[in-house]
Structure 1
Amino acid sequence: MFNQQQNQNFQGSSQMPDHQSHGGHEMFDAHEAISSLIGGLEQGLLYEQHIQDPELKTMLQKHKTFLTQMYNTIVETLNTGQEPSQKTQTYMMSDSNNVLYGMKPTQPKTPAQAVTELNDQCISSFMMGNLKATASGFTMTALETTNPVLRRVFADSVPNLIEMAYEIFLYQNKRQYYQVPQLKPEEMQIYMSCFAPVQNPMQH
């Protein structure tokens, strides 16, 4: 009797209207993830007035446009539980994938003591931090979202956030804000040779 009643309750809950087909846990995660995205967009308003480099300002504006559409798509999906009218887009960065390797001496960094000390290096780092936080939040949310459409929207948004963050990394690297050390060739080879493929994996 108890199991039969449980099954009836479960069936009833699975037939809820689409806009209510969300679990409580995913509601908490989704709100946190969306709030992270909002925070990044709002902080961008503060950054823009302090940017000196036109390239960085253009990048910020391009990110803002894309992230705003991403936000609208997620909010619509959250409210309806159905396919959004505007599908998830694909972000295309404008820079090449050329990375500068090696380290050069730089002045030790200290925290800015006044707003006037905030420069493009600081601002590009803020932008990177916001995208990292949002990408992490979206990933964690997608792992436990019960509504299949909302889960896919969060999951499909993560590669776009990664692409934007990588674009900022390349910008920072080109200006030596973000230097990339390398191992000695022989050490690199040792690390690259640490793993080997499984031979004849068992078929199940």
Structure 2
Amino acid sequence: MAAELGAHESVQLHEVLTCLVDGINKFQLYRPHVQDPQLRSILDKQIGFMNQEYNNMVQTVIHHSKGEAIPYRRVKNITPSYGLKNPSPLTPNTSADEMDDRDVSSGMLGAHKASAVLKMTASLEFADPTIRRMLQQGAINCSEQAFEIWYYMNQRGYYQVPTMKQMTTQTMINSFNTGHVPQYS
């Protein structure tokens, strides 16, 4: 028996599941263009997880099973690289044959960012706590997958992090102060 859903929940769920299918398909299209074994490993791991997440969500909705929101496990204890180090200019490819690891990883990152926003927005519309939690965890999973691919890009100079002078950074951060906490009875 399928879960009982409101009209807006059905539309949101359709959008999320379509986005998941499109993401899986897009990542499969990227695969032949990957040269780096580490990127291929990340891509394959993420495709597998996205398939698992999709199947879990469909099973939960169609069979109204008590599906669990599965967390994505990425590598911990990383050290990002900060600063600009001769970034290469970007230009569009003239054909799909020119796609490289930078293009693939950038496409993966963009897909995860968009999917995170979509899943979190959809979660705000759900009354069913199981599906709501599944969508929330899905947004977190996209964030973790995005961070994993961002770190890959960062280590190869594909996604450099510009910095400011320390004084400017401190001035911006120090422009905030703790506020007065009202006492309610």
Superposition TM-score, scaled by structure 2 size: 0.94
Q: Deviations over 1:117-164 (max 9, x none)?
A: 100000001111111111111111100012221111111222111111
Task: Give the SS at the match of 1:49.
Answer: helix
Match for residue 137 of structure 1 among 97, 113, 118: 118
Task: Give the SS at the match of 1:187.
Answer: helix
The match for 1:203 is 184
Task: Give the SS at the match of 1:101.
Answer: coil
Task: Give the SS at the match of 2:35.
Answer: coil
Kindly indicate whether residue 127 of structure 2 is the aligned counterpart of residue 146 of structure 1. yes
The match for 1:58 is 41
Q: After TM superposition, where is structure 1 displaced by more than 6 Å over at least 4 residues in a row? A: none
The match for 1:89 is 70
The match for 1:37 is 20
The match for 1:187 is 168
Distance 2:112 2:170 in 1: 32
Contact residue 33 and residue 141 of structure 1 kept, 8 A = yes
Q: How many residues align?
A: 185
Q: Please state how far the C-alpha of 1:195 moved relative to its aligned partner.
A: 1.1
Kindly indicate whether residue 25 of structure 2 is the aligned counterpart of residue 46 of structure 1. no
| Correspondences of 1:95-114 after superposition (within 5 Å) | 96-114=77-95
Contact residue 121 and residue 172 of structure 1 kept, 8 A = yes
Q: Deviations over 1:88-141 (max 9, x none)?
A: 222111264211111122332110001221000000011111111111111111
Instruction: Name the stretch that deviates more: 153-162 or 95-104.
Output: 95-104
Distance 1:80 1:148 in 2: 15
The match for 1:13 is none
Distance 2:27 2:148 in 1: 16
The match for 1:26 is 9
Task: Give the SS at the match of 2:33.
Answer: coil
Unpaired runs of at least 5, structure 2: none
Match for residue 70 of structure 1 among 43, 53, 64: 53
What is the alpha-carbon root mean square deviation over aligned residues? 1.5
Contact residue 3 and residue 61 of structure 2 kept, 8 A = no
Instruction: Name the stretch that deviates more: 151-160 or 48-57.
Output: 151-160
Task: Give the SS at the match of 1:179.
Answer: coil
Task: Give the SS at the match of 1:62.
Answer: helix
Q: Percent identity?
A: 32
Unpaired runs of at least 5, structure 1: 1-17
The match for 2:100 is 119
Task: Give the SS at the match of 1:19.
Answer: coil
Task: Give the SS at the match of 1:177.
Answer: coil
